[in-house]
Amino acid sequence: MRGTSPPVPRRGHGATIARIALAIVGGYVTVSLWTFLLGRLIPGDRPGAGFTATMLSFLLYAGCFVWVFGAKRVGRTALAMTALSAIAALGIALT
* Sequential pLDDT tens for the chain (95 residues): 566 767 665 666 888 999 999 999 999 999 999 999 999 999 999 999 999 999 999 999 999 999 999 999 999 999 999 999 999 999 999 98
Q: Are the C-beta atoms of 15 and 77 separated by less than 8 Å?
A: no
Q: Is the pTM of this model over 0.85?
A: no
- Rounded distance between C-alpha atoms, residue 75 and residue 34, angstroms: 21
Task: Give the per-residue pLDDT at 90.
Answer: 97
Q: What is the DSSP letter of 7?
A: P
Task: Give the per-residue pLDDT at 91.
Answer: 97
Task: Give the per-residue pLDDT at 15.
Answer: 87
H or E stretch covering 68: helix 46-70
